[in-house]
């Protein structure tokens, strides 16, 4: 989901650009070069580029999308409505460097200064929605780039309101934020129980990663209007809400997070059989809520936990099967159904077994494993 490694103020801004180009490739069979017999069209977004976000303990992929943006400060105030127009706070943004970008993911991470404070700005193209295709075809400008036999390629300039860029601003940004958005090499770590107790756990306690923003959500001090479902029970309850990586305009890239109300579970390592009622509750009620709200059955959902997690408070990821969500690969994701079965077989399963996870080259935890001769 979304990480917080220090006290940070962030906001979510949607920017509209009237002159954004799409690349349009058209394959047509012409009769006398005048009449169209048959045709197919492909729409490919132009390369805005970007790498997905990598958080402070994750590094399993080099292109994870943006983690959740904090809306205001640690008190959770100042949250804007979903469709409200905001002042252009980026007009004075001074670019220092491009931290990373990806033509495939169509997003870009930029380091700079905003009002004399260090900031990171993340721009990401929103997906093309089926319900906008008619307007794209009828209301856009086409500029021919190439034609060869049945093939032709154009630059398509869509109407302004169809050119949204999902924009996340991290300000003030610390050195850790700047580093985590840079593309870096990753390493697979083998963590035994002894490693967890002597290396990982002390490191987590040393860092004191702030999760006040999580408590703001649970206490309805922030993002209350975004909650899809809540079970308020303090032992087995949770809050289900969309991840900021999902723009909620289509279900193809559906991504929601269930955050447990129980506050003494940091990660997979803390889970025992006594937490099975909580895990069952999240699994069943989360799927039911998604079916009711988005008409997406359980058979089309991927439900999993991360290890290492991006923040140390129990949360579960719900994504649409087929969507390559960040961190859904095997070295980091643990299916919730497997977690439940493992704990049913062995109450202390995750407190005793060896776990594997990826870390980036600049990760402090990786340095600790190297110092201990474990890598």
- Would you tell me how many other CB atoms lie within 10 Å of the CB of residue 260? 25
Q: What is the pLDDT of residue 83?
A: 56
Q: What is the pLDDT of residue 184?
A: 79
Percentages of the chain per state (helix, strand, coil), in multiples of 5: 25, 30, 45
Q: What is the pLDDT of residue 215?
A: 97
Distances (CA, A) of 204 to 63, 178, 196, 310, 333: 24, 20, 10, 12, 20
C-alpha 371/C-alpha 114 separation (Å) is 37
C-alpha 315/C-alpha 67 separation (Å) is 14
C-alpha 375/C-alpha 30 separation (Å) is 62
- With contact defined as beta carbons under 8 Å apart, do 10 and 70 qualify? yes
Q: What is the pLDDT of residue 249?
A: 84
**Cis preceding linkage at 237, omega within 30:** no
Q: What is the pLDDT of residue 71?
A: 38
Burial class, 201, CB count within 10 angstroms (exposed 0-12 / middle 13-18 / buried 19+): middle
C-alpha 295/C-alpha 41 separation (Å) is 29
Spell out the CATH class of 184-371.
alpha beta
Ordered per-residue pLDDT tens for the chain, 375 residues: 343 333 333 333 333 333 344 555 544 433 333 333 333 333 333 333 333 333 333 333 333 333 433 334 444 444 444 556 678 889 889 999 999 888 877 889 999 998 889 999 999 888 888 889 999 999 999 999 999 899 899 999 998 888 888 898 989 888 878 877 888 788 999 999 999 999 999 999 998 778 999 999 999 999 999 999 999 999 999 999 999 889 898 899 999 999 999 999 999 999 999 999 999 999 999 999 999 999 999 999 999 999 999 999 999 999 999 998 888 999 999 999 999 999 999 999 999 999 999 998 888 999 999 999 998
Residue of 82, 55, 42, 60 lying closest to 225 (CA atoms): 82
Q: What is the pLDDT of residue 103?
A: 81
For the chain, the structural domain boundaries read 10-170, 184-371
* Residues taking part in catalysis: 315
- With contact defined as beta carbons under 8 Å apart, do 318 and 303 qualify? yes
**Yes or no: domain 10-170 corresponds to CATH 3.30.200.40:** yes
């Amino acid at each position: 989901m979304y990480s917080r490694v220090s006290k940070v103020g962030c906001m979510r801004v949607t920017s509209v650009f009237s002159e954004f180009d799409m690349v349009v490739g058209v394959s047509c069979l012409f009769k006398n070069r005048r009449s169209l017999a048959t045709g197919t069209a492909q729409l490919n977004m132009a390369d805005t580029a970007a790498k997905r976000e990598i958080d402070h303990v994750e590094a399993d992929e080099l292109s994870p999308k943006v983690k959740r943006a904090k809306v205001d400060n640690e008190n959770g105030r100042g949250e804007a409505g979903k469709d409200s127009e905001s002042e252009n706070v980026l007009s004075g943004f001074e670019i220092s460097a491009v931290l990373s970008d990806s033509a495939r993911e169509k997003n870009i991470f930029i380091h700079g200064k905003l009002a004399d404070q260090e900031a990171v700005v993340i721009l990401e193209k929103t997906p093309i929605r089926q319900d906008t295709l008619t307007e794209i075809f009828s209301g856009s400008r086409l500029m021919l780039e190439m034609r060869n036999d049945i093939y032709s390629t154009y630059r398509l300039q869509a109407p302004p309101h169809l050119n949204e860029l999902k924009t996340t601003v991290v300000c003030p940004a610390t050195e850790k934020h700047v580093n985590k958005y840079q593309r870096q090499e990753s390493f697979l770590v083998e963590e035994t129980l002894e490693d967890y107790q002597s290396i990982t756990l002390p490191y987590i306690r040393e860092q004191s990663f702030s999760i006040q923003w999580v408590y703001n959500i649970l206490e309805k001090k922030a993002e209350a209007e975004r909650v899809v479902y809540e079970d308020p029970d303090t032992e087995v309850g949770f809050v289900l809400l969309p991840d900021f990586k999902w723009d909620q305009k289509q279900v193809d890239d559906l991504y929601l997070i269930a955050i447990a109300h129980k506050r003494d579970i940091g990660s997979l390592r803390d889970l025992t059989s006594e937490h099975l009622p909580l895990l069952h509750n999240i699994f069943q009620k989360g799927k039911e809520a998604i079916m009711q709200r988005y008409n997406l059955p359980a058979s089309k959902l991927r439900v999993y936990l991360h290890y290492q997690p991006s923040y140390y408070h129990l949360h579960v990821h719900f994504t649409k099967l087929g969507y390559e969500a960040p961190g859904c690969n095997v070295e980091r994701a643990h299916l919730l159904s497997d977690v439940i079965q493992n704990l049913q077989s062995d109450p202390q399963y995750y407190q005793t077994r060896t776990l594997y996870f990826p870390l980036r080259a600049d990760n402090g935890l990786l340095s600790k494993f190297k110092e201990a001769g474990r890598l």
